[in-house]
Amino acid sequence: MSGFLVLQGLRKRFPNGTVAIDGVDLEVAEGELVALLGPSGCGKTTTLRCIAGFEDPDAGSITLDGRRIDTLPPNRRGATMVFQGYALFPHLSVFENVGYGLRVRRVGGVALRERVEAALTLVGLAGYGDRRPQQLSGGQQQRVALARALVLEPSLLLFDEPLSNLDAKLREQLRLELRALQQRVRITSVYVTHDQAEAMTLADRVAVMDRGHIAQLGTPRQIYDEPVNRFVADFVGRANFVRGVVRERSDDSVVVDVLGATRRASRAPGPLAEGAEVDVMIRPEEVHVVSSDTDGTVPAVVRRASFVGASVVYQLQCAGVEIIAIAPLERGAALAADGARVGLRMRDGALRAFPTAAEPHTP
């Protein structure tokens, strides 16, 4: 993979002593969209602001298209940003906002008008040029911010949680639009978000960040199906963690005793000795609740079954631990009663084993 944007050993400590990023390495290919995903304080925004030039990293380098940019001032980096609060200039019209960067580059007259109109059309806001930003809805403001960044045809687009100020429905819609647009213009992008659904919908690859470094970088499928550690497994999607013991092991899988049964599980990197305790993860949608007399199931008791519309969430007690299961409910079918005895079916490939965390905790 050719690194169009390359971050190497990026470190940043704030004056108050907190270490924001602690050795970030990342390569983004040309035309690729990489999402930086993580909880607040993980360093994703600091990484983005280092690329934009609003923070000076203490160590490391940033290369864009073969050129060192971390020594350049923010206005010479050619990486335009869509800000979290959009940062639209309130004293300028939509047209002037979008044309701002072009004017700075001494583009004027017909060329300016054509390029601004084209950018506004691209984001579906043709004819809105004369309005003030304050007269637009949140979604429209977001599009203006996008047009303002796109119109300069940057070599790199930066997104700082651009959808976080919108309501859930609009966010979902814009997420899809943004993906379609990025696919069309193919501008290399780095997208910061704490919303895993957003990251997975939009990104070619996702970098999950934890306490100042990248815990895992991979396609959405990879980080969901093959998390490298408990943090990633827990942050991306929901997960049950139960204790198990390793019976047999091979290079890519282990056989574990878990919940009173013996199952094959894929294995995360790290030492997993035979006979050792491991944390076994299973996603709630991989736990199938069936009748208790089904062969090959694990017995469990329903603590509570909650109907949440598209699915049913079961809180189950199984071999002394609590398990969450999520399953679709056929229209008209009855919910399992609280206290009912049921069987749990778990596919071999659905389990994943991790080296035991020093401080075990139940999800």
Which of 1, 17, 40, 73 touches another protein by CB under 8 A?
73
Cβ proximity to another protein, 7 vs 52, nearer residue: 52
Count interface residues toward another protein (CB under 8 A): 26
d(CA 206, CA 192): 10
Which of 9, 39, 85, 270 touches another protein by CB under 8 A?
85
Q: To the nearest whole angstrom, how small is the minimum distance from the Cβ of residue 73 to another protein?
A: 5
Cβ proximity to another protein, 151 vs 265, nearer residue: 151
d(CA 301, CA 344): 10
Angle, to 10 degrees, between the axis of helix 109-122 and the axis of helix 94-104?
A: 130
> Should residue 80 be labelled a site residue for another protein when binding is judged by CB under 8 A?
yes
Output the CA–CA distances (angstroms, integers) from residue 111 to 89, 103, 115, in the order listed: 22, 11, 6
Q: Tell which positions 103-142 bind another protein, by CB under 8 A.
A: 104-105
Q: ∠ at Cα 58 (54, 64), nearest 5°? A: 60
Q: To the nearest whole angstrom, how small is the minimum distance from the Cβ of residue 109 to another protein?
A: 18
* The pair of three-digit structure tokens given for residue 186, joined into one six-digit string: 């193919």
> Should residue 54 be labelled a site residue for another protein when binding is judged by CB under 8 A?
yes
Q: Is the dihedral of CA 204, 351, 313, 333 positive or negative?
A: positive
- Contact partners, residue 361, CB within 8 Å, separation at least 6: 241
Which of 69, 116, 119, 152 touches another protein by CB under 8 A?
152
- Mapped onto helix, strand or coil, the DSSP state of residue 140 is helix
Instruction: For residue 34, list its beta bridge partners.
Output: 190, 205
Determine which helix (DSSP H) or strand (DSSP E) holds 145, and give its type and residue range: helix 138-150
Cβ proximity to another protein, 105 vs 341, nearer residue: 105
Which of 12, 148, 194, 283 touches another protein by CB under 8 A?
148
Cβ proximity to another protein, 46 vs 297, nearer residue: 46
> Should residue 83 be labelled a site residue for another protein when binding is judged by CB under 8 A?
yes
Determine phi and psi for 235, rounding to 5 degrees.
-75, -35
Q: To the nearest whole angstrom, how small is the minimum distance from the Cβ of residue 314 to another protein?
A: 39
Contact assessment for residue 156 and residue 107, using Cβ atoms and an 8 Å cutoff: no
> Should residue 346 be labelled a site residue for another protein when binding is judged by CB under 8 A?
no
> Should residue 147 be labelled a site residue for another protein when binding is judged by CB under 8 A?
no
Angle, to 10 degrees, between the axis of helix 138-150 and the axis of helix 94-104?
A: 20
d(CA 22, CA 272): 28
Q: Tell which positions 184-243 bind another protein, by CB under 8 A.
A: none
> Should residue 164 be labelled a site residue for another protein when binding is judged by CB under 8 A?
no
Which of 1, 76, 110, 334 touches another protein by CB under 8 A?
76
> Should residue 331 be labelled a site residue for another protein when binding is judged by CB under 8 A?
no
Which of 8, 84, 93, 201 touches another protein by CB under 8 A?
84
> Should residue 90 be labelled a site residue for another protein when binding is judged by CB under 8 A?
yes
Residue from 231, 229, 279 nearest 254 by CA: 279
Which residues of this chain interact with another protein, rule CB under 8 A?
52-54, 73-77, 79-81, 83-85, 87-91, 100-101, 104-105, 148-149, 152
